[in-house]
Amino acid sequence: MLSRQDLTKNFTLNVEKERILRKLTQSQMAKKLEMSLSGYKKMISGATVKIDLYTAQLMRNLTGKWLFELIDDYNEDTELILKLRHLSPSQKDFIKGILDFETEFFSFHENAEDYITVFIPTGNMEDGMIYDSVHYTKVNAASYRKKFGSDLYCGIKITSNHLHPVYNLGDILLICRKPIREGDTGIFFNRENGRIYIRKYQPAAPWILEPINGYGEILTIDQYDHNDMKKWIKFGYVLTKMRE
């Protein structure tokens, strides 16, 4: 928890940063915050011990930033809020649907923590698959939750036999979002072609992504090439598989 001194200091520093970003004079910024120039200078100099809530709200209206951003007070919940800012309206509607679903589920199930969200992609799950759409359901994975704890993030259901014999129709891949390790089977998304690959990860130089069943091309990622790294999103890796 931030002290009063740290909160005030962070807020005033961010006020000046936002003023400079907008190329405003201190007099113009003071006017936007509905205070005198002398009061503004007193605030940013650190002579003000307390920040008026109305001033904070005016900064919110001016910058579009939340209070936690203006005082530099971040945690897992606020990081989630920041990510929502970059989504399109349709993406936000999708996320809202998931939140509504999760909220309702947890309100009606006593042992809701035993369940995981399982994503079910449409189309054939093959090498370099394109996910046109996805729906989701809840599956009881109590024994796996006991084994993996918070490492167990979600599940992905296998919807075809294209990944046979490693994964078969009906298998559910249990996914961890922590950094992938050598030899793990990872879920990799390529931003350029919109395709998702299930590959065994080998941290050579460059990184090698091997097909899990011998079919498909071997992919490489140059970890020293920023542009190449930007092409890829590592969604997570497979802890194990289960069946309903």
The mean pLDDT of the chain is: 90
- Taking only the tens place, the pLDDT of each residue in 209-232 is 999 888 888 999 999 999 999 999
Q: Looking at the structure, do residues 178 and 75 belong to the same domain, yes or no?
A: no
Q: Which domain holds residue 38?
A: 4-84
Given a contact cutoff of 8 angstroms between Cβ atoms, the answer to whether 17 and 10 are in contact is no
Q: Looking at the structure, do residues 105 and 66 belong to the same domain, yes or no?
A: no
Q: Percent of the chain, pLDDT > 70?
A: 98
Among residues 84, 115, 135, the one where a domain terminates is: 84
Q: Looking at the structure, do residues 95 and 187 belong to the same domain, yes or no?
A: yes
Q: Looking at the structure, do residues 75 and 137 belong to the same domain, yes or no?
A: no
H-helix or E-strand containing 172? Answer: strand 172-176
- Taking only the tens place, the pLDDT of each residue in 173-215 is 999 999 999 999 999 999 888 888 899 999 888 999 999 888 8
Q: Residue 179: give its domain's CATH number.
A: 2.10.109.10
Please give the tally of structural domains in the chain.
2
Q: What is the pTM of this model?
A: 0.72
pLDDT confidence of residue 38: 95
Q: Looking at the structure, do residues 108 and 226 belong to the same domain, yes or no?
A: yes
Per DSSP bridges, beta strands 154-157 and 115-121 are parallel
Q: Looking at the structure, do residues 162 and 144 belong to the same domain, yes or no?
A: yes
Burial bucket for residue 137 (CB in 10 Å: 0-12, 13-18, 19+): middle
In order of 35, 40, 53, the CA distances from 46 in angstroms are: 16, 10, 17
- Taking only the tens place, the pLDDT of each residue in 14-47 is 999 999 999 999 999 999 999 999 999 999 998 8
